[in-house]
Amino acid sequence: MLAPRDTPTRERTSLNGLWRFALDPGAAGRGARWWAGPLPGEAEMPVPASFNDVIPDRAVRDHVGDVWYQRVVRVPRGWDGGRVVLRFDAATHRATAWIDDERVVEHEGGYTPFEADVTAHVRAGEEARITVVVNNVLSWTSIPPGYVQELDDGRRVQQYFHDFFNYAGLHRTVWLYATPPAYVEDVTVTTDLDGAYGLVAYRARVAGATGHAVRVAVREDGGGEVVARAEGAEGAVRIPGVRAWRPGEGNLYVLDVEVVDPAGEVVDSYPQTFGVRTVAIDGERFLINGEPFYFKGFGKHEDAALRGRGHDPVTMVHDFELLRWIGANSFRTSHYPYDEAVLDYADRHGVVVIDETAAVGLNLNVGGGILNQAEPLTTYSDETISSRTQAVHRQAIEELVARDKNHPCVVVWSIANEPDSIQPEARAYFEPLVAETRRLDPTRPVGFANFMLATPDRDVVSDLFDVLLLNRYYGWYAQTGDLDTAEQVLEAELREWARRARPIVMTEYGADTQPGLHSVTSDPWSEEFQTDLLAMYHRVFDRIEAVAGEQIWHFADFATRSGVSRVDGNKKGVFTRDRRPKAAAHALRRRWRGEA
C-alpha cells in the first residue's frame, strides 16, 4: 500500500492536531448516531497519541470499548476533479469512519494503514465532518488476542496475554490526500546485485485508467541524475556502478513511476523509494549483499510518557541517535508494525529491521504471575486461538508485507512473538501462515520469536522457518540470580539449536533493573546484575558460530499493566523510559563499538 506523497500530480494534507473526543463507556454512540452531529462533551484529544494517559482519570486509562474522534476539515479548493482519499496510518485496534453521515471505511488491526476513496462524499473548497470510532477491545478474533472479563458489579476488564500496556487510539497520522482519477495504485520493487550493477525488477499497478501507458525512471534519492529508464507496468532495469544499501549506509534510489494518457500527457507520478541490496541465508550465516551480518541491537516498543504509543518524531529521532551512540545496527519492531516513518528513517540511515506483526500473546500457558492471567486456558481450541484468529493473523501479515515490502531496512518478517509452539496444533496453525508470507514476499527470510519453554526437543514449528529467533531469560525468570548455572543451560541449549544449521538471532534476553540500585554482590534488579547478565550471554554467543545476532530486551523501560512483578512497567530497558542510560548501556557501547 503506497504512502501518501506530494508529487507534481498529488497533494496531501495532514489532519494531525486536536480532535474532539468522547469516551463511550455505555456504548451509546453507535445507536445514537454520534457521527451525525458534534460529539457530546467538551473533551479534545491530540492526534497522534494514545488517549489513555492524556486525561488523568482511571476510567479513561482503563476504558474498554469505543472512543470517538471528530473534526471538521475544509477540502482544498484545488482538488476539484481529483480523487480524494481519507487515510489512517493506524487506528488501534479497529475503527469505523464517517464523512458527514456516510460511513466510508471500517478496519480491523491496530498497526497498519487503511483508507477510503471519499471523492463522492466531499466537495473541493467545502467543509466535511470526519468522525471516527476507535475500539480497543481484544478478543479471540483480534491480533493480538485477549478477552473481556465481566465483573459481578458490571465492570468490564480487558485481559490479554502480552506484557505491554493496551494503549489505543489514533496513534499515527491521519491524511486527506488527492490523486488524479487515473493513478498509480501500488508499486513493488525487488533488487539484486550483479558485480557493479544493481538489478531492479519493478511492478506497478495502475487504477482508473484504460489505454494509459506506464514509464519509469530511476534516480538517486535526493534528486540525482536519472540512471535508468524503462517502459511498461512491469519490467527490469540495471543500474551501473550501483551504490548498494548496506548496514550503516542508507543508499537509496527512487523509482519514479509515471502514468501517461493516450494523448501523451503525464497524468500521475509516484516516487517509490528503494535500496539495492540482497538478503540471503547460507547455512548458519545471515547474509546482506553476500556478506555475513551480525545483528546488534534491541527489541523496542513505541512507548513514551503521555503519548503512549502515539508516533512522535522527537522520540523517534532521539531513539535512533541513542542506537547510534551505543553502536547498535538493528532492532526488532516488537511487538507490532511501527509507524512507517520509523522504517523510512531506518532506510535512510542504514539501520537493519526485523519487522514483526502484532501476533503477540498467542500463548495461554505463559500467564502465571507475570501476566496476571485470570484463569488457565488452552491456546489452540475453538473457543480460544482458532482458525478465525488465524484468518485475522493472515490478514495482518498481508497488510504488513503490503506496506513494508519496499523498505530495504526490513530483512526478516517475524510473523509472531512467543506463540505456543509446543502444542501439536501449532503446526497446522503456522504452516499456512509461513507459506503465505513466502508467497507474498519470496525475497526475505521468515521467522518468529520463540518462547523460552519451546526448547529444541519440544518446539514443533521452527523447521518451517528460515531463521531462528530465540527469546531466553536464563538468569532472570529461571535460575534467577545464578549466572553460573544460567550460562551452562544457555550454552547447552544454543548448541542444540546450532545443529539445525540455521542462523540464530537471540531476539530477547535481559533483566529488570531499577535505575540507581547498586549491589556489590550483583543481585537481581541492580544495575550491576543487568550488566553481568548481558556479559554472560555475550560470552556464550561469542563461543557459538551459529549465533548471528544479539538483540537485548529491552531498549528502554516501558509501560505495562500493573502486576506484582511490574513496578511502574517493565524495567528491562538499557535506558530508562525517559532515555537515560543505565550502567549496562555503557558496557554495551564498549562491546558494540569494539572498545572493550
Distance of closest approach, residue 164 Cβ to ligand GCB, in angstroms: 6
Which residue lies nearer to ligand GCB by CB, 380 or 509? 509
Long-range contacts of 25-30 (CB under 8 A, 24+ apart): 25/59, 25/63, 25/65, 27/65, 27/66, 29/66, 29/68, 29/133, 30/66, 30/133
Which residue lies nearer to ligand GCB by CB, 83 or 572? 572
Mask 3-42, x = binds ligand GCB (CB under 6 A)? ----------------------------------------
- The Cα–Cα gap between 464 and 26 comes to 46
Which residue lies nearer to ligand GCB by CB, 163 or 527? 163
C-alpha R_g of the chain: 24
- The Cα–Cα gap between 426 and 362 comes to 10
Say whether residue 572 binds ligand GCB (CB under 6 A): yes
Q: Which helix (H) or strand (E) holds 21?
A: strand 17-24
Dihedral of CA 398/89/553/149: which sign?
A: negative
> Scanning residues 158 to 187, which ones bind ligand GCB (CB under 6 A)?
162-163
Distance of closest approach, residue 572 Cβ to ligand GCB, in angstroms: 5
Cis status of the peptide bond prior to 554, with omega within 30 of 0: yes
Q: Which amino acid is at 374?
A: A
Which residue lies nearer to ligand GCB by CB, 207 or 377? 377
Which candidate, 470, 539, 548, places its Cα nearest to that of 503?
A: 548
Which candidate, 203, 185, 187, places its Cα nearest to that of 83?
A: 185
> Scanning residues 357 to 416, which ones bind ligand GCB (CB under 6 A)?
none
Dihedral of CA 80/82/83/86: which sign?
A: negative
Distance of closest approach, residue 2 Cβ to ligand GCB, in angstroms: 31
> Scanning residues 264 to 303, which ones bind ligand GCB (CB under 6 A)?
none
Of 108, 399, 493, 508, catalytic: 508
Which DSSP string do the residues of 291-344 spell out, in sequence order? EE--EEEEE----BTTTBT---HHHHHHHHHHHHHHT--EEE-TTSPPPHHHHH
> Scanning residues 551 to 570, which ones bind ligand GCB (CB under 6 A)?
553, 570
Which residue lies nearer to ligand GCB by CB, 162 or 172? 162
Which residue lies nearer to ligand GCB by CB, 53 or 418? 418
Mask 518-557, x = binds ligand GCB (CB under 6 A)? -----------------------------------x----
Q: Which residues contact 488 (CB under 8 A, 6 or more apart)?
A: none
Which residue lies nearer to ligand GCB by CB, 443 or 565? 565
Q: Which three cell numbers stand for residue 75?
A: 477540502
Among 417, 437, 462, 530, binds ligand GCB (CB under 6 A): 417
- The Cα–Cα gap between 226 and 503 comes to 38
Distance of closest approach, residue 354 Cβ to ligand GCB, in angstroms: 13
Distance of closest approach, residue 250 Cβ to ligand GCB, in angstroms: 28
Distance of closest approach, residue 370 Cβ to ligand GCB, in angstroms: 6
Which residue lies nearer to ligand GCB by CB, 68 or 451? 451
Which DSSP string do the residues of 272-295 spell out, in sequence order? EEE----EEEETTEEEETTEE--E
The answer to whether 428 touches 262, Cβ cutoff 8 Å, is: no
> Scanning residues 328 to 357, which ones bind ligand GCB (CB under 6 A)?
335
Q: Which residue minimizes CB distance to ligand GCB? A: 163
Distance of closest approach, residue 163 Cβ to ligand GCB, in angstroms: 4
Which DSSP string do the residues of 477-490 spell out, in sequence order? TBSTT-HHHHHHHH
Among 66, 284, 312, 508, binds ligand GCB (CB under 6 A): 508
Which residue lies nearer to ligand GCB by CB, 239 or 396? 396
Of 115, 340, 399, 418, catalytic: 418
- The Cα–Cα gap between 158 and 135 comes to 12
Pairing relation of β-strands 410-417 and 352-356?
parallel
Which residue lies nearer to ligand GCB by CB, 228 or 452? 452
- The Cα–Cα gap between 113 and 105 comes to 12
Distance of closest approach, residue 303 Cβ to ligand GCB, in angstroms: 11
- The Cα–Cα gap between 522 and 7 comes to 57
375 belongs to the catalytic site: no
Helix axes 313-326, 583-592, angle to 10 degrees: 60
Distance of closest approach, residue 360 Cβ to ligand GCB, in angstroms: 7
Helix (H/G/I), strand (E/B), else coil: 378 = coil
Say whether residue 418 binds ligand GCB (CB under 6 A): yes
**Total site size for ligand GCB, rule CB under 6 A:** 10
Say whether residue 63 binds ligand GCB (CB under 6 A): no
> Scanning residues 444 to 473, which ones bind ligand GCB (CB under 6 A)?
471
Mask 471-490, x = binds ligand GCB (CB under 6 A)? x-------------------
Which candidate, 4, 272, 204, places its Cα nearest to that of 114?
A: 4
Distance of closest approach, residue 299 Cβ to ligand GCB, in angstroms: 7
Distance of closest approach, residue 472 Cβ to ligand GCB, in angstroms: 9
- The Cα–Cα gap between 586 and 253 comes to 36
The answer to whether 191 touches 276, Cβ cutoff 8 Å, is: yes
- The Cα–Cα gap between 63 and 56 comes to 12
Which residue lies nearer to ligand GCB by CB, 163 or 284? 163
Which residues belong to the active site? 418, 508
- Residues in the site for ligand GCB, rule: CB under 6 A? 162-163, 335, 417-418, 471, 508, 553, 570, 572
